[in-house]
């Protein structure tokens, strides 16, 4: 099919005509996209089958359980990983079809919010690319993360619909359907060999698996991502049945349903149990069919729990081993503890999951019982270690104060607990999880995040990829640490010139896109200063936008003030119920309106908010960035992964010493990054002891005062929209230290602008140092560490 141009073109045309009963000349790009993708999928299938066969002999496999997988588009990436991209591109070109246009038809598989889900997707790519037996398990949400529409500068949410035209990359496996029980009660059966428990009178939900191929680079390994869909089989117009059908299908309807009320909480808990129950069942079935023994499950299988969402896999495995296969508690616990490993992705207390018992127990009665037993035994072992220390035991308990604490269950039931950047792991060990660390220090370890350079470099930035290939050879494609070879060219003017031309090309492409999407003409020679990520107060998009407003004020009121032209680019979705975050989006829009249209700043300061930020848009934005904004309040960002993507594409970071920025600094050296602001210990000391008064900064810094006043004096709006932001900074004492870090940030930005403008050659060297130091942030490195130190595969 893909062996030569002629047979490819013939097959492609014939299939197109047969599938759609139209002539090739009349076919649409969408039809061409589907036809090509189907051909690619078929091409993959033999390697997929072979990988499955091969892995049956494999000593040990990993399953990565995650409530999110943020895959983005697959056609282009699959072609790259199969080594077919350029070939197909030219064969299609020959019949007047631009491959990029077909790629642009594909909807993003957006089954995630941000970093956590994208990390899972990068990990899948690395596992397959390194030929490791590692598979994903998730939920096939009918609607991924909402589509963001901007209306008068306000975010509106529309249901996303990636499955609208059918999805070419999945295979429905109805024969592997399993049933997941909810509600009901627990029956106790006395037997000679002890007491046995059975979950009875449950309502069953069908979990139907859809498998997606995960094609590794080189095309030799094709792993599987299994996504579960909730279905009912009954057909009836009976009201009760219809309601049951609706309730059931709701389980895989939306990613993160609103959980501000009990009904929403029940639904989220249902999703979590649905995922783990179906996944554990299928993992065990496969293990048994390969001739595996349950008592040694942990020697053949490692299960990874991505944040606490899939943590019920721990009691679920206990349940299956004991209730279905009659293992004793001790045997089942031994297997379970050695099977699971857990990653923590945040220290923010509002994001730590706890379920009220009144919701948990009725929905999952047998699982609740098992957690009670785990808790009792866990507390006993704490008692042995800390006899009499009731307070500590209550703080560490899995069930306490009428709640089930998911992180505590995860730690108790796993043999490994890791953070996602060195600083983050230290904070877990020394603060957030300190008592657990004291109790079981050996469990704790760090695995600094990474990103797949196959998507974020090879796919997103073909121009840079070719330049790198001709300069340092192709080796970096499979071994990203070879990017360090680039350091040899840091003084090579010819190379620096080529590098800056590549950056300019990517800026031109983004410039065109911004014009198409936003109707704004930006200057591609201006500094592209980019902040793209979820909108959250701790990430401090507010610091960025206040700084822009301050620059505006300086231009207007300080005659001697000079700055190089800058284009500030934002992309961010705010969680639908997060009022404050949505108001910051509106603020970005209002500041854009002001500075983009004022004759004094027009062309000098441009602000662009790009709608509906997602993986495919990131692939356009990141390669075009000059400056990468990583400005979270120190200690709050667990790692960040966008920071790594920008670095690899030659953007220079303006950032705090937070998350993985600390390790990025080690790679670039202090001269090739702009670090500013409070350190994590300082933030944590203020959080603990107080001593920060944001009002002082308002009173003592005229620039801050003038800028903040504009939030409420009618400069930006006459409806008082930004009073909440003003209040959060002043009367609520600025929880995220925006004002405290303001001057340091302004001065770091000024330094960056100065070098960019006055010393372009130095800037280019900084770009080189960023790219050449980025290899360590390939997720291949991260996955190697997980594989050898945690999973032992």
Which residues of this protein are in contact with ligand 26V, per CB under 6 A?
Answer: 114-116, 119, 307, 345-346, 348, 350-351, 420, 449, 536, 637-641, 659
- The C-alpha atoms of residue 121 and residue 291 are separated, in whole angstroms, by 30
Smallest separation (angstroms) from ligand 26V to the CB of 641: 5
- 265-276 burial code (b ≥16 CB/10 A, e <16): bbbbbbbbbbbb
Contact predicate 784/450, CB 8 Å: no
User: Bridge-partner residues for 416, per DSSP?
Assistant: 341
Among the options 73, 304, 586, 645, which is catalytic? 645
Q: Tell me how far, at minimum, the Cβ of 536 lies from ligand 26V, in Å.
A: 6
Least CB distance to ligand 26V at residue 168 (A): 28
Q: Based on CB atoms, which residue is closest to ligand 26V, 425 or 649?
A: 425
Q: Angle 661-668/760-772 helices, nearest 10 degrees?
A: 110
CB of 742 to ligand 26V, least distance (A): 23
Nearer CB in complex with ligand 26V: 489/613? 613
The catalytic position among 135, 226, 345, 583 is 345
Identify the active-site residue in 140, 424, 533, 740.
Answer: 533
Compare residues 85 and 342 and give the one whose CB is closer to ligand 26V. 342
Is the backbone of residue 750 left (phi > 0), alpha (psi -120 to 50) or beta?
Answer: alpha
Whether residue 204 contacts residue 181, with contact meaning beta carbons closer than 8 Å, is answered with yes
For residue 279, give the nearest of 104, 126, 79, 61 by alpha carbon.
61
Q: How far apart are CA 409 and CA 420, in angstroms?
A: 19
720 CB contacts (<8 Å, ≥6 apart)?
712
| CA-based end-to-end distance of the chain | 35
Active-site residue, from 539, 582, 740, 765: 539
Q: Report, in Å, the least distance between residue 122 CB and ligand 26V.
A: 10
**What minimum distance in Å lies between the beta carbon of 606 and ligand 26V?**
28
- 380 as an active site residue: the answer is no
Following DSSP, what letter does each residue of 451-512 receive, concatenated? B-HIIIIIIT-HHHHHHHHHHH-SGGGT-GGGGGGGGGGTT-HHHHHHHHHHHHHHHHHHHH
CB 502 within 8 A of CB 463: yes
Return the residue nearest ligand 26V (CB atom): 115
Contact 124, 64 (CB under 8 A): yes
Considering beta carbons, is residue 114 or 184 the nearer one to ligand 26V?
114
> Residue 288 or 351: which CB sits closer to ligand 26V?
351
CA distance 114 to 116: 6
**Spatial contact of 228 and 245, defined as CB atoms under 8 Å apart:** no
Catalytic annotation present for 573: no
Among residues 184 and 571, whose Cβ is nearest to ligand 26V?
Answer: 571
Q: Is 345 a catalytic residue?
A: yes
> What tokens appear for 91 in the block?
């064969």
Q: What are phi and psi of 214, to 5 degrees?
A: -110, 105
Q: Which is nearer to ligand 26V, 596 or 778 (CB)?
A: 778
314 touches 377 (CB < 8 A):
no
What's the closest the beta carbon of residue 679 comes to ligand 26V, in angstroms? 17
Task: Tell me whether residue 534 is one of the annotated catalytic residues.
Answer: yes
Whichever of 386 and 578 has its CB closer to ligand 26V, that residue is 578
Catalytic pick among 641, 653, 656, 782: 641
Smallest gap from Cβ 659 to ligand 26V, in A, equals: 5
Closer to ligand 26V by Cβ: residue 67 or 102:
67
Decide: 121 and 71 in contact? Cβ < 8 Å. Answer: yes
CB of 420 to ligand 26V, least distance (A): 4
Q: Are 309 and 279 in contact (CB under 8 A)?
A: no
Does the CA dihedral 306-311-314-316 come out positive or negative? negative
Question: Annotated catalytic sites, by residue?
Answer: 345, 533-534, 539, 641, 645
């Amino acid at each position: 099919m893909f062996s030569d141009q002629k047979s490819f073109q013939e097959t492609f045309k014939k299939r197109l005509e047969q599938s759609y009963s139209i002539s090739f000349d009349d076919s649409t790009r969408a039809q061409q996209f589907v036809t090509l993708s189907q051909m690619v999928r078929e091409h993959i299938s033999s390697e997929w089958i072979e990988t499955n066969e091969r892995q049956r002999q494999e000593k040990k496999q990993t399953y990565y359980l995650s409530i999110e997988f943020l895959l983005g588009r697959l056609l282009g990436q699959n072609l790259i990983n199969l080594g077919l991209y350029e070939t197909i591109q030219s064969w299609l070109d020959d019949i007047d079809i631009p491959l990029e246009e077909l790629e642009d038809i594909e909807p993003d598989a957006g089954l995630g919010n941000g970093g956590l889900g994208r990390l899972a997707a990068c990990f899948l790519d690395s596992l397959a690319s390194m030929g490791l037996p590692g598979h994903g398990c998730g939920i096939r949400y009918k609607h991924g993360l909402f589509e963001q529409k901007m209306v008068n500068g306000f975010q509106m949410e529309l249901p996303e619909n990636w499955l609208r035209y059918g999805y070419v990359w999945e295979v429905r496996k109805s024969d592997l359907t399993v049933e997941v029980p909810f509600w009901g009660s627990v029956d106790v059966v006395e037997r000679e060999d002890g007491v046995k428990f059975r979950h009875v009178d449950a309502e069953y939900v069908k979990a139907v698996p859809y498998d997606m191929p995960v094609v590794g680079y080189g095309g030799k390994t094709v792993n599987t991502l299994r996504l579960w869909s909730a279905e009912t089989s009954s057909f009836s117009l009976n009201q009760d049945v219809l309601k049951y059908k609706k309730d059931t299908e709701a389980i895989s309807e939306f990613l993160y349903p609103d959980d501000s009320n009990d009904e929403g909480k029940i639904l989220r808990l249902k999703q979590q149990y649905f995922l783990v129950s179906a996944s554990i069942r299928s993992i065990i079935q496969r293990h048994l069919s390969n001739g595996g023994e349950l008592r040694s499950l942990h020697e053949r299988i490692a299960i990874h729990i991505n944040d606490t969402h899939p943590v019920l896999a721990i009691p679920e495995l206990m349940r299956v081993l004991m209730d279905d296969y009659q293992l004793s508690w001790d045997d089942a616990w031994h297997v379970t503890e050695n099977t699971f490993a857990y990653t923590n992705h945040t220290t923010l207390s509002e994001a730590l999951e706890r379920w009220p018992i009144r919701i948990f127990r009725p929905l999952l009665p047998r699982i609740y019982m098992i957690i009670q037993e785990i808790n009792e035994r866990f507390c006993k072992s704490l008692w042995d270690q800390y006899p009499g220390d009731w307070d500590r035991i209550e703080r560490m308990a899995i069930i306490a104060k009428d709640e089930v604490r998911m992180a505590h269950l995860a730690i108790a039931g796993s043999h490994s607990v890791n953070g996602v950047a060195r600083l983050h792991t230290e904070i877990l060990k020394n603060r957030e999880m300190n008592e657990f660390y004291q109790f079981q220090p050996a469990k704790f370890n760090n695995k600094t995040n990474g990103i797949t350079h196959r998507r974020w470099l090879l796919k997103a930035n073909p121009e840079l990829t070719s330049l790198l290939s001709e300069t340092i050879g192709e080796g970096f494609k499979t071994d990203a640490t070879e990017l360090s070879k680039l350091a040899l060219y840091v003084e090579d003017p010819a190379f620096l010139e080529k590098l800056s031309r590549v950056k300019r090309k990517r800026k031109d492409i983004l410039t065109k896109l911004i014009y198409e999407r936003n109707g704004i003409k930006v200057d591609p020679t201006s500094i592209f200063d980019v902040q793209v990520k979820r909108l959250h107060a701790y990430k401090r998009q507010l610091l960025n936008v206040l700084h822009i407003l301050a620059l505006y004020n300086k231009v207007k009121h300080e005659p001697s003030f000079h700055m190089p032209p800058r284009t500030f680019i934002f992309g961010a979705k705010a969680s639908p119920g997060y009022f404050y975050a949505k108001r910051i989006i509106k603020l970005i829009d209002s500041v854009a309106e002001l500075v983009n249209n004022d004759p004094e700043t027009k062309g000098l300061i441009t602000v662009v908010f790009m709608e509906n930020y997602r993986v495919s848009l990131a692939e356009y934005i990141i390669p075009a960035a000059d400056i990468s904004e990583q400005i979270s309040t120190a200690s709050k960002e667990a790692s960040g992964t966008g920071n790594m993507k920008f670095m690899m594409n030659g953007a220079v970071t303006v950032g705090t010493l937070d998350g993985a920025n600390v390790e990025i600094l080690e790679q670039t050296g202090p001269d090739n990054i702009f670090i500013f602001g409070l350190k994590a210990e300082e933030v944590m000391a203020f959080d603990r002891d107080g001593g920060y008064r944001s009002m002082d900064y308002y009173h003592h810094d005229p620039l801050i005062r003038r800028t903040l006043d504009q939030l409420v004096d009618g400069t930006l709006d006459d409806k008082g929209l930004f009073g909440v932001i003003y209040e959060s900074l002043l009367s609520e004492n600025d929880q995220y230290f925006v004002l405290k870090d303001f001057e340091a940030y302004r001065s770091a930005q000024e330094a960056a602008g100065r070098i960019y403008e006055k010393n372009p050659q130095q800037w280019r060297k900084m770009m080189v140092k960023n790219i050449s130091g980025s290899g360590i942030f390939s997720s291949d490195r991260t996955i190697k560490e997980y594989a050898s130190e945690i999973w032992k595969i």
